[in-house]
Chains A and B, each alone.
Chain A
Amino acid sequence: MTRRRATPYALLAPGLLWLGLFFVVPMYFMGVISLERGSLETGFRFTWELSNFTDSISEYETQFLRSFAYAGIATALALVIAYPLAYAIAFRAGRWKTLLLFAVIAPFFTTYLIRTLAWQTILSDESPTVDFLRAVGIVPDGGRVLDTSPSVIAGLTYNFLPLMILPLYANLERLDHRLIEAAKDLYASAAKAFWRVTLPLSAPGIVAGVLLTFIPAAGDYINATFLGGPNQAMIGNVIQGQYLELRNYPVAAALSFLLMVVILAVVVLYFRFAGTGALMGDESRTSLGSTGGRSRPVIAGRSRAIRWLRERALNLYAGIAVAYMLVPVAVIAVFSFNDPAGSFNVTWQGFTLEHWADPFGQVELTDALVTSLELATVSTAIATVIGTLLALALVRHRFFGRRAANVLLVVPLATPEVVIGAALLSMFVYLGVSRGFTTLVIAHVMFSISFVAIVVRSRLIGLDREIEEAAADLGAGPVSTFRTITLPLLAPGVLAGALLAFVLSLDDFVISNFNSGTTITFPLYIFGASQRGIPVEVNVLATILFAVTVIAIALVIWQQRRAQERAAPTGSPPTRSQPRSAEIASAARRTASTSSSTRSAS
């Protein structure tokens, strides 16, 4: 009994400790600073300077509102793009789904800045895209897209897509198809089945995706910087400017707390609307129960042809979405063959293979990339374990402080990077910790934990517990149940969470800049290089990173498939519509029988 009560706390401990030490404590110091006044020249004094807060609200109301509007629209667009795509990958891609998942996430292995610059190229005034938009009348003659609100929103939508796709995929992948079939058997139309069954069942995925997209997007500054002008500045730009340009640390801190409070308020409202069940993982509230009994049987009057088209429509939509995600990668790849005479790789100058001849020839650039890959690997491994444990505790256990732990998870997402980066730096300096790879790992794990936990949580919510109970009934111990049942069921969620952590780590610039000491990561190098021109090799490396990822995953899948075929030459492979839970249930029986036999032997 006591052990059972201790379990959730044991699962929580690593995550809470990490977030407590490396997020809450630094943010406490920032809280103090937000109430100070002064300057670097005269020193800062604590004066309960509440005007830092009150003045900020009135002064930057426009940017606050703009940020939420942009982030809101971008989140809605991302949901519309990502949902059918995640659905198609989860249900239509069969054994290729992991490959497809990597293929849609791999574009985001190219650095944030490079991707955004690619969008600049795509949306520039004389580009074919904008010519087309003018021709069809979406953009007026002489009008432009770049440096307007739509281009900032377009950038946000694109750059934050992985944050929407991955939680949706993690959740949808476990959806039991039999329920949809049952709905159709009960004469629900495809649309009805979607609205009444699929959508409610995937609510936790939608909630997680919306949170993970909206919150960071509201605090973003890069898209507004590169795809917008001063009239599109977001609150992230204001905070960045207050901190870096004006060195007005108190106001920057106060603005950050305001942003956090507003975001948390929006989140609370959202949950009021969407139901707290999605946040807390209270299964009863998100399960089918809420829809049961209300759906009226509808006679299916659609012909086969239309249904056939409908199924193709999803694939077509997914295809377009994938193509859309690959467009910037294509631009980056094309420009890796460019032959500029100067140091700026902006417009097409002619074809050359020169930069591919020795892709790793720019030693400093290659070193930075290797550092970034090592950093991303280490921090992803740690964050994935910690985040998964957190998610398990939050969904599977009830304990004192669960609600607070759920909120704590969201807060780091809502904290502007410049402030958390600076706060962490202050703490390291205060403690006399010299900065380098280790402090980078600490920082990256810190900001990744929440993302992993929220993605895994969206998978866990409503996950069929009966299989685990069946295993337990059949005599499997908790450890072997976890290993053979829970973990395989969780795997796609853990994979999605890990991918997200990896992408975030590879992309991070602001927090890394503060805490890197003399270590140089890939984004740090590129942001610096862009002052004087970005070497074409950057495009080459980005292209290689993308291609290697996709090819490696394809090889792994191909090999697995061959191994499977060799192992069972006569047996037919499991059909794609076969629910995974059935496979796992049989695994449960096997485990249970082995563990019970070992027990009887002893």
Chain B
Amino acid sequence: MSGAEDKDRGRGTRMGGSRLLVAIAALLAAMAIGACGDELEGDDNGDEDVPTAAAGPVEGELTMSTGPLYIDKAQGKVDGSGSTIGRFEEETGVDMNYLEDINSNESFFSKVQPDLANGESGGRDIIVASDWMAKKYYDLGYAQKLDKDALPNVEENLVPQLRDPEFDPGREFTVPYQSGQTGLVVRTDLAPDLTSVNDIFDPQYKGKIDILAELRDTVPLVLKAEGIDPDEATKEEWLAAIDKLQDAIGSGQIRDVTGNDYIADLPRGDAVAAIGWSGDAVQLQADNPDIEFIVPDEGCMLWSDDMIIPVGAENPGAAYAFMDHLYDPEIAAQVSGYVNYMTPVEGVKEVFEEQGETDLADNELIFPTEEFVENCSDQPILEGEDEKEIEAAWEELVSG
């Protein structure tokens, strides 16, 4: 290695450095110019009048976005003959474009947000979103109000407890798709005495506890365990509950904060209990009877995934018709028998009984009794700066 080469190398790097500086300066200058010109995404959508989706003829093409494995299939297809969608297409002549393209509330929102901000739906007529996310769509002016006259089955068969939720009083812009409870999913063989959310802090379960990465599921359960009503809780109480969980993560008491991959930790024994969803528990139980969904002593959380009609939807007429189709108890039973979540439709239990499906009819997680959900509450509403602060604290817990 000669000295000349060394010098050469040094010069090369310096040159690279100055070029980089020039490039950065150019970029900054360009940004400054750009900043004077346009206001990117600077759309204020305060409280302008939210339109109502116009009921129209039931025909043409209907596009709905939801997650995979969330509806029954026939012949291996979601629109196979005799399936919920197949029957809808047959009855109405509508060509349904059922998209299983939602993998999480958040990532789907980020994907469609730029279109919706332009008043376009990206071709979609129905979007499925969890309660709080549905509210976000609506608050930002991305969802339309619903015309109840176009939803006679929904008006008739929606279960009473879901008719007037706090996040959408009077169900002005959402129709529930499926519901469920959030509580404790427990390996009763490994943690027989775990019945309260407070028990997850018990040192004997150290490193064997998972919690959900969902702020509005996990934290209210902790608040309830401390005797605080989540709906009345102050910002400080929320932050204190998050701190408590943070400490438990720091000490190794809590193993992981998961999306829903606690479903793998429980059967493998990597976790003995998790804050989790009833629908998952039904599926896990099928393979391991020791896994049980437990409504915590202090009560559980109730949630729904809802259907909304986004702004710019091209075929609201068919969208209404499909939502209403799902509220035919016989159809609802068909969906419920496949997905095993709590159905928001009245009369499904009777359909199962008629069909002799007693396992399903007697399943407390699909048809919870009054006392089963006695102390359960809806997800609390967070708003404004408090919401931002609590969400930021939560995100810090989730990603270190």
Binding site for B on A (CB under 8 A): 28-29, 31-33, 35-36, 39-46, 48, 62-63, 66, 117, 120-121, 124-127, 144, 146-147, 225-226, 229-233, 237-238, 240-247, 249, 264, 268, 271-272, 275-277, 280, 284-285, 290, 340-344, 346-347, 349, 358, 361-364, 403-404, 407, 422, 425-426, 429, 434-435, 513-514, 516-518, 520, 524-525, 527-533, 535
How far is the CB of A58 from the nearest CB of chain B, in Å? 13
A-B pairs with lowest CB-CB distance, top 6: A233-B400, A342-B286, A342-B283, A528-B103, A341-B286, A529-B68
Which B residues are CB-close (under 8 A) to A290? 1, 5
Q: A41-B139, A518-B63 are in contact. Are A272 and B256 (CB under 8 A)?
A: no
Q: Please, could you name 27 A-B residue pairs with CB atoms under 8 Å apart, sorted by A?
A: A32-B40, A35-B31, A35-B35, A40-B140, A46-B39, A120-B264, A124-B270, A125-B269, A233-B398, A237-B398, A244-B109, A272-B9, A276-B13, A344-B263, A344-B264, A344-B284, A349-B287, A364-B100, A407-B16, A429-B114, A434-B123, A516-B101, A518-B99, A518-B101, A524-B101, A525-B100, A531-B104
What's the Cα separation between A276 and B16 when bound, in Å?
Answer: 10
Q: Flag whether B249 is at the interface (Cβ < 8 A).
A: yes
Q: Name the one of B35, B101, B254 contacting A32, with C-beta atoms under 8 angstroms.
A: B35
Q: Is the CB of A517 within 8 A of B77?
A: no
Which B residues are CB-close (under 8 A) to A28? 27, 30-31, 34
Q: Flag whether B201 is at the interface (Cβ < 8 A).
A: no
Q: Is the CB of B69 within 8 A of A32?
A: no
Chain B residue with the shortest CB-CB distance to A401: B19
Q: A44-B42, A342-B287 are in contact. Are A524 and B269 (CB under 8 A)?
A: no
Which B residues are CB-close (under 8 A) to A125? 268-270
Q: Which of A125, A232, A284 has the most CB of B within 10 A?
A: A125
Which A residues are CB-close (under 8 A) to B15? 403
Q: Name the one of B260, B261, B395 contacting A242, with C-beta atoms under 8 angstroms.
A: B395
Q: A32-B34, A230-B256 are in contact. Are A62 and B400 (CB under 8 A)?
A: yes
Q: Is the CB of B268 within 8 A of A346?
A: yes
Which A residues are CB-close (under 8 A) to B261? 117, 120, 226, 530
Q: Name the one of B68, B115, B268 contacting A124, with C-beta atoms under 8 angstroms.
A: B268
Q: Name the one of A272, A422, A516 contacting B13, with C-beta atoms under 8 angstroms.
A: A272
How far is the CB of B267 from the nearest CB of chain A, in Å? 4
Contact pattern, B 266-287, Cβ under 8 Å of A = 1, otherwise 0:
0111100000000110111111
Which B residues are CB-close (under 8 A) to A243? 110
Q: Flag whether B20 is at the interface (Cβ < 8 A).
A: yes
What's the Cα separation between A346 and B122 when bound, in Å?
Answer: 36
How far is the CB of B139 from the nearest CB of chain A, in Å? 7
Q: Flag whether B339 is at the interface (Cβ < 8 A).
A: yes
How far is the CB of B126 from the nearest CB of chain A, in Å? 13
Q: Is the CB of B400 within 8 A of A232?
A: yes
Q: Is the CB of A276 within 8 A of B9?
A: yes
Q: Which of A32, A66, A358, A520 has the most CB of B within 10 A?
A: A32
Q: Is the CB of B67 within 8 A of A528?
A: yes
Which A residues are CB-close (under 8 A) to B40? 29, 32-33, 36, 44, 46, 426
Q: Which of B63, B70, B75, B76 has the most CB of A within 10 A?
A: B76
Q: Which of B12, B20, B67 has the most CB of A within 10 A?
A: B12
Which A residues are CB-close (under 8 A) to B397? 230
Q: Which of B5, B63, B103, B400 has the most CB of A within 10 A?
A: B400
Chain A residue with the shortest CB-CB distance to B12: A276
What's the Cα separation between A532 and B207 when bound, in Å?
Answer: 25
Which A residues are CB-close (under 8 A) to B270? 124-126, 144, 146-147
Which A residues are CB-close (under 8 A) to B35? 32, 35, 46, 48
What's the Cα separation between A571 and B68 when bound, in Å?
Answer: 59
How far is the CB of A146 from the nearest CB of chain B, in Å? 6
Chain A residue with the shortest CB-CB distance to B79: A363
What's the Cα separation between A28 and B34 when bound, in Å?
Answer: 9
Q: Flag whether B118 is at the interface (Cβ < 8 A).
A: yes
Q: Flag whether B257 is at the interface (Cβ < 8 A).
A: yes
Which B residues are CB-close (under 8 A) to A238? 399-400
What's the Cα separation between A528 and B13 when bound, in Å?
Answer: 46
Q: Is the CB of B287 within 8 A of A517?
A: no
How far is the CB of B23 from the nearest CB of chain A, in Å? 7
Q: Is the CB of B256 within 8 A of A147?
A: yes
Contact pattern, B 67-102, Cβ under 8 Å of A = 1, otherwise 0:
111100001111000000000000000000101111
Chain B residue with the shortest CB-CB distance to A534: B69
For residues 373 through 400 of chain B, which have their beta carbon under 8 Å from a beta carbon of chain A? 388, 391-392, 395, 397-400
Count chain B residues whose beta carbon lies closer than 8 angstroms to a beta carbon of A: 88
Q: Is the CB of B30 within 8 A of A343?
A: no
Binding site for A on B (CB under 8 A): 1, 5, 9, 12-13, 15-17, 19-20, 23, 27, 30-31, 34-35, 39-44, 63, 65, 67-70, 75-78, 97, 99-104, 106-107, 109-111, 113-115, 118, 122-124, 139-140, 207, 249-250, 254-257, 259-261, 263-265, 267-270, 279-280, 282-288, 339, 388, 391-392, 395, 397-400
What's the Cα separation between A120 and B266 when bound, in Å?
Answer: 12
Q: Name the one of A245, A272, A429 contacting B398, with C-beta atoms under 8 angstroms.
A: A245
Q: A230-B249, A230-B256, A344-B287 are in contact. Are A241 and B101 (CB under 8 A)?
A: no
Q: Is the CB of A244 within 8 A of B13?
A: no
Q: Name the one of A62, A272, A346 contacting B264, with C-beta atoms under 8 angstroms.
A: A346
Which A residues are CB-close (under 8 A) to B68? 364, 525, 528-529, 531-532
Q: A364-B77, A407-B16 are in contact. Are A532 and B257 (CB under 8 A)?
A: no
Which B residues are CB-close (under 8 A) to A144? 207, 270
How far is the CB of A113 from the nearest CB of chain B, in Å? 10
What's the Cα separation between A342 and B289 when bound, in Å?
Answer: 11
Q: Name the one of A230, A363, A518 contacting B400, with C-beta atoms under 8 angstroms.
A: A230
Q: Is the CB of A520 within 8 A of B284?
A: no
Q: Is the CB of A275 within 8 A of B69?
A: no
Q: Name the one of A340, A518, A524 contacting B103, with C-beta atoms under 8 angstroms.
A: A524
Q: Is the CB of B268 within 8 A of A244?
A: no
Q: A39-B388, A147-B255, A404-B23 are in contact. Are A425 and B106 (CB under 8 A)?
A: no
What's the Cα separation between A358 and B75 when bound, in Å?
Answer: 11
What's the Cα separation between A380 and B128 when bound, in Å?
Answer: 34
Q: Is the CB of A344 within 8 A of B267?
A: yes
How far is the CB of B8 from the nearest CB of chain A, in Å? 8
How far is the CB of A220 from the nearest CB of chain B, in Å? 13
Q: Is the CB of A528 within 8 A of B100?
A: yes
Q: Which of B41, B102, B140, B255 has the most CB of A within 10 A?
A: B41
What's the Cα separation between A46 and B110 when bound, in Å?
Answer: 20
Which A residues are CB-close (under 8 A) to B69? 343, 529, 531-533, 535
Q: Which of A284, A340, A531 has the most CB of B within 10 A?
A: A531
Q: Is the CB of B76 within 8 A of A358?
A: yes
Which B residues are CB-close (under 8 A) to A425? 111, 114
Which A residues are CB-close (under 8 A) to B282? 342
Other A-B pairs, 18, CB within 8 Å; known A125-B269, A344-B267: A31-B27, A44-B41, A244-B104, A244-B107, A244-B109, A245-B398, A276-B12, A290-B5, A363-B75, A403-B19, A407-B20, A426-B114, A518-B63, A518-B99, A520-B100, A525-B68, A531-B259, A532-B69
Q: Is the CB of A342 within 8 A of B139?
A: no
Q: Is the CB of B12 within 8 A of A280?
A: yes
Chain B residue with the shortest CB-CB distance to A367: B77
Which A residues are CB-close (under 8 A) to B27? 28, 31
Which A residues are CB-close (under 8 A) to B249? 229-231
Q: Is the CB of B42 within 8 A of A43?
A: yes
Q: A35-B31, A125-B270, A230-B399 are in contact. Are A245 and B99 (CB under 8 A)?
A: no
How far is the CB of B111 from the nearest CB of chain A, in Å? 5
What's the Cα separation between A264 and B20 when bound, in Å?
Answer: 10
What's the Cα separation between A146 and B265 when bound, in Å?
Answer: 10
Q: Name the one of B76, B103, B255 contacting A531, with C-beta atoms under 8 angstroms.
A: B103
Which B residues are CB-close (under 8 A) to A237? 398-400
Chain A residue with the shortest CB-CB distance to B13: A272
Chain B residue with the shortest CB-CB distance to A422: B110
What's the Cα separation between A450 and B288 when bound, in Å?
Answer: 47
How far is the CB of B100 from the nearest CB of chain A, in Å? 6
